[in-house]
Structure 1
Amino acid sequence: MRVAVISDIHGNGPALDAVLADIAARAVDAVYCLGDVAFQGPHAAYCVDVLRERHIPTVRGNTDRYLAGGGRPPGMPSGRADALLRPWREALGPERLAWLGVLPERLEVTWGGAAALLVHGSPRSDEEPLLPRLPGTGPGGAPGTGPRTGSPPGADSPGDGGPLAGVDAQLVLFGHHHLQLAWRQGGTGPWMVGPGSVGMPFDGDPRAAYALITVEEDRGASRFGAPRMAVTLVRVPYDVEAVIAAHRQAGLMDYNPLFPAQLRQARMHPAPQG
């Protein structure tokens, strides 16, 4: 079985179109989305409509929750949050906002015999990023440039009371931090996969990101009879400047002035532009 997982579209229609076209060329069996569908970019309504029309199962991200009225960014006063979110709420309208508001916080599915857990941030919070603990770092590790793969020393395992406490899955998929990551928890535990961001990557590569999961059920060849799994982290180019132009034309610079630099540099905190 072959599954594509997308996340963090953030209202970027051309990036979403490019990723879905690439996925279509790979003959996958299913597509799933890990949330943060609409906020930030100029194509909020379009991105929601595409997911709904294609019946793509989607978990709710933290910004989806904010838009639907379920809280606000940490530390931001309610009046300021309402003013910030207003253009996207108006663009979406009540019916789309209602759809965002009832999205599930998690999905538990089975792909080719593999139990998978899909969340936006971590299993316990849509605002908590999941990162590997690499040698020389503290809990959670530190983000770098480009995708990470391999088997770094695991932290926060299912039995240690951390964000994975109580998780009984062979595959955990998560978004939120806009980084492409794939590692085996503790070297022998579940696969941890962050597909990266479709619409706002933060790893220095401005191309749209997603992940392909291939599961081969072969109970005679894997530990405890688990199916074999392979993870492919994919990047797809799209017209960044067209999105920036649409952002300006929609009058969103007053609400999100960093958006052009974030897209061009693929950084959460971009360098100043002249």
Structure 2
Amino acid sequence: MKTYAVISDIHGNSLALKAVLEDIQLRKVDVIVNLGDHVFGPLEPQKTADLIFGRQMICISGNKDRDILENLDQSTQDETLEQVKKNLDKRSIDWLKSLPSTQSIDRLIFACHGTPESDNAYLLEEVTENGVFVYKDEELVAKTANIKEQIILCGHSHVNRVIWLSNGKIILNPGSVGLPAYLGNAKVRFAMESMTPHAKYALIYAGKNSINIEQINCSYDWNAASETARKNGREDWAQGLLYGRMPKSLKS
């Protein structure tokens, strides 16, 4: 039996990451897999990076990691991005530059942030005018047809899900460590909501003839994280951190 802890979408929430790493420490975990979007957000980017550096883990890049790197040498209108860039030290920037976009682990697990082809697309969810829906089995089988590994890890949506496909593959989104709800813009305005404020991650127990998956919800001081986001000018983050859902007033 080999145990993997899967974390994703920390988004600079050092308080949530600390709670998750402490919870992982209590369990017999062999490998930590980190699916990206490590430090972007109106919270504590550098403290978060330092916590990651303090633990051995397999990390890949997320879309917000890429955004930081692509805008290092130019000013943007994104105040949060500018705050993050000022907060990170050279070691953290160099580390972000070193991260791969995908990773194969033990010939069992394929890790990506969004989809195998894009860090900025959802593997499991389709955004429509009528809401956000999980793709049908046949659509997910087709989308992952080129992946040889049995377990496919993805993040990006921040919503924790486990989906067993008809071909025997498993798609796992561990949810977000650091941001349980957020607003998005595509063709329509939409909200991704995990419905609780907890820091989320997942455990995979891989045996010779079995795979068991456990979704974990960790308590931490989300009131403090929410207040930090509010002080840094992000009321939307403050609300998402506090409730795991977005108020109707912000969705419109």
Would you say same fold, with TM above 0.5? yes
* Corresponding residue SS for 2:116: coil
Maintained 8 Å contact 1:68/1:98: no
Maintained 8 Å contact 2:42/2:80: no
Q: What is the CA distance between 1:104 and its match in structure 2?
A: 0.7
Alpha-carbon separation, structure 1, partners of 2:138 and 2:198: 29
Alignment of 1:210 onto 2:194? no
Alpha-carbon separation, structure 2, partners of 1:86 and 1:98: 17
Q: Which amino acid aligns with 2:12?
A: G
RMSD of aligned alpha carbons: 2.5
Q: What is the CA distance between 1:240 and its match in structure 2?
A: 0.8
Maintained 8 Å contact 2:153/2:171: yes
Alignment of 1:79 onto 2:83? no
Q: Identity of aligned pairs, percent?
A: 31
4+ residue stretches of structure 1 with deviation over 3 A? 269-273
In structure 1, what is the equivalent of residue 158 of structure 2? 178
Alpha-carbon separation, structure 1, partners of 2:138 and 2:42: 35
Maintained 8 Å contact 1:132/1:183: no
Maintained 8 Å contact 1:70/1:101: no
Q: 1:207 to 1:172 in 2, by over 3 A?
A: same
Within a 5 Å distance, the mapping from 1:49-88 to structure 2 comes to 49-69=50-70, 79-81=76-78, 83-88=79-84
* Corresponding residue SS for 1:79: coil
Within a 5 Å distance, the mapping from 1:1-274 to structure 2 comes to 1-69=2-70, 79-81=76-78, 83-110=79-106, 115-131=108-124, 142=133, 153-157=137-141, 160=142, 162=143, 164-185=144-165, 187-201=166-180, 202-218=193-209, 228-248=210-230, 251-253=231-233, 256-267=234-245, 269-272=246-249
Alpha-carbon separation, structure 2, partners of 1:188 and 1:166: 13
Alpha-carbon separation, structure 2, partners of 1:27 and 1:48: 24
* Corresponding residue SS for 2:235: coil
Say how many residue pairs are matched.
233
Q: 1:190 to 1:100 in 2, by over 3 A?
A: same
Maintained 8 Å contact 2:32/2:56: no
Alpha-carbon separation, structure 2, partners of 1:84 and 1:153: 37
Maintained 8 Å contact 2:76/2:82: no
Q: Which amino acid aligns with 2:117?
A: R
TM-score when normalising by structure 2: 0.84
Q: What is the CA distance between 1:27 and its match in structure 2?
A: 1.5
Unaligned runs of at least 5 residues, structure 2: 181-192
Alpha-carbon separation, structure 2, partners of 1:154 and 1:211: 25
Unaligned runs of at least 5 residues, structure 1: 72-77, 144-151, 219-227
Q: What is the CA distance between 1:70 and its match in structure 2?
A: 6.3
Alpha-carbon separation, structure 2, partners of 1:262 and 1:65: 23
Q: Which amino acid aligns with 1:247?
A: A
Structure whose residues are more often strand by fraction: 2
Alpha-carbon separation, structure 2, partners of 1:257 and 1:69: 26
* Corresponding residue SS for 1:238: coil
Query: Could you report, residue by residue, the CA deviation over 1:99-132 in whole angstroms, capped at 9, with x for unpaired residues?
Result: 112211011011xxx5110110010100111116
Q: Which amino acid aligns with 2:177?
A: V
Q: 1:87 to 1:70 in 2, by over 3 A?
A: closer
Q: 1:168 to 1:45 in 2, by over 3 A?
A: same
* Corresponding residue SS for 1:68: helix
Q: 1:115 to 1:70 in 2, by over 3 A?
A: farther
Alpha-carbon separation, structure 1, partners of 2:105 and 2:68: 27
Q: 1:165 to 1:188 in 2, by over 3 A?
A: closer
Alpha-carbon separation, structure 2, partners of 1:215 and 1:245: 39
Q: What is the CA distance between 1:95 and its match in structure 2?
A: 2.6
Q: What is the CA distance between 1:141 and its match in structure 2?
A: 6.3
